[in-house]
Structure 1
Amino acid sequence: FCSFGERLSSQLIAAGLREASVDCVWIDVKEFMITDDNFGGARPLLEKVKPRLAEKVAPLVREGKVVVTQGFIGVTESGAYTTMGRESSDYSASIIGAAMEVEKVQIWTDVDGILTADPRVVRQTKRVRQMSFEEAFELSYFGAKVLHPNTMLPVIEKEIPVQIINSKNNKSLGTLIDVVSSTATIPIVKSIAYKKGITVVSVAPDKRLGQYLFWESIFSILSRHGIGTGLMATSEYSVAFTVEARADVAGLTQELSNHGRVKTFSEKASLCLVGEGLRGSSGLADRVFHALSDFNITMVSFGASGLNISIVIDESQVEHAVNRLHEEFFEQGVASEVFDVPAN
């Protein structure tokens, strides 16, 4: 049932192109996008996708035809339609692009590219001209809506650039995501992402039998429950991590309590600042905490990748916090070679 919208709308697009005298061919995604059977979050089987694209799609492209197909959906080897997760059409595009080894993948959306913040929350956002693969991945993973979190994975290995373009603004150049980020010579924050519906789970062992044994038991439990963590912070023995509120937090907490004292903090949100050279950047943390000096900060994660600093605050305060940070980092003079102003 979930596949009908994509299949019908793509046929309308194909019909419109043919009406405009474009030599186009409509192909059902079942011809090539083979996935596992994890319905709702299906994973493409790339080793099966690539040869099918080479057989079904590549010859049409070589003939100069425009091929119209679907994103978001795939099909199991037995022929059942699957979906790859909410807003995964751009992921489909990057899979197709990487498998066919194209020169560039273009993703057409309703904003002028990657912006310095969510334009629904911040009025005076700026467009980021260029961003590295790793920066874009971090940004999407931590909540930016312009890209599906997995979009970067297929193209990173082959170093295929991705361009985000506004379908409603043909004058905008969008954002180019590539190997090299920009020519900036100083650490620079490029964008702020946030994610609501976060729960922080803190676990401290009852018995100190060894740090590595305790951590192993925690990660084993998370794996059995199929729950991924967002942010993580550790002390000598205790560990705290974030999970999405829609996860089975109650079941997770119950099993974790067999290994230590568990505390949960619900109705939280994560905030992530992404950019170049942030690890070891002098004064960065001071600016963040100064901007949020009157906010209740539950957790901080900094330094794991060198590309982001993340904090957890009360969900009810997150939009106010995003505006505070945007004012601090983007409204007092920014590198002109990195940003276009304004974006909205």
Structure 2
Amino acid sequence: NDSERGKIKSIAAKDGITAIKIQSSRMLLAYGFLRRVFEIFERYKTPIDMITTSEVAVSVTIDDISNLAEIIKELNNFGTVEVDYNQTIVCVVGDFGADKHGFAARVLEALKHIPIRMISYGGSHFNISLLINDGDKVEALRSLHNRLFE
């Protein structure tokens, strides 16, 4: 029964996403770096959908590119900025609590043939979000459905 705890409930996709990666080995670990990055998006009233970080880079996704040129200009002060257009966020919703084993692996296994640009997992126990190219969306949704629901 899909309403039971421990089940994957649904798959959703959001198109029209733009990914922005800011790479800066000198700034990223500096105190206040992320706050300054987020302030730029706040100044331009541009919500962030996803975020991932590493030791040398932070990647975010947005769906409103009306102020993208200005945002990029300001982000360039922090380091190298890369932009990927035509992306899709695929979100798998279910019970991914720490006591559940194998659900994330099943999601990634279903998409092993599709390049994944970003993964957001752990902010909530109820979803895993993946960023892929728009052109891979139909195949990704089909593969996830076949692997998770059949």
Q: TM-score, normalised by structure 1?
A: 0.41
- Partner residue of 1:197? 16
Higher relative contact order (CA closer than 8 Å, sequence separation 6+): 2
Corresponding position: 1:243 with 2:62: yes
Return the offset for 1:205. 2.5
In structure 1, list runs of 5 or more residues that go unmatched: 1-127, 129-181, 332-344
Corresponding position: 1:256 with 2:87: no
Q: Which residue, out of 115, 120, 129, partners 1:310?
A: 129
Runs of 4+ off more than 3 Å? 208-212
Contact 2:25 / 2:56 at 8 angstroms: preserved in 1? Answer: no
Corresponding position: 1:208 with 2:30: no
Q: Whose Rg is larger?
A: 1
Secondary structure in structure 1 of the residue aligned to 2:109: helix
Return the offset for 1:208. 3.3
Give the distance between the partners of 1:247 and 1:288, measured in 2 at CA.
Answer: 33
Q: Which residue, out of 114, 117, 127, partners 1:298?
A: 117
Contact 1:205 / 1:214 at 8 angstroms: preserved in 2? Answer: no
Identity of aligned residues (%): 33
Secondary structure in structure 2 of the residue aligned to 1:194: strand
Figure out how many residues of one structure are paired with residues of the other and give that number: 148
- Partner residue of 1:108? none
- Partner residue of 1:279? 97
Residue type matched to 1:236 in 2? E
Alignment RMSD: 1.8
Residue type matched to 1:313 in 2? I
Return the offset for 1:261. 1.3
In structure 2, list runs of 5 or more residues that go unmatched: none
Q: TM-score, normalised by structure 2?
A: 0.90
Q: Deviations over 1:285-341 (max 9, x none)?
A: 22112111111111100010111001011101102211110111112xxxxxxxxxx
TM-aligned CA distance change 1:216 to 1:326, over 3 Å: same
Between Structure 1 and Structure 2, the one with more strand by share is 2
Secondary structure in structure 1 of the residue aligned to 2:147: helix
TM-aligned CA distance change 1:305 to 1:250, over 3 Å: same
Return the offset for 1:260. 1.6
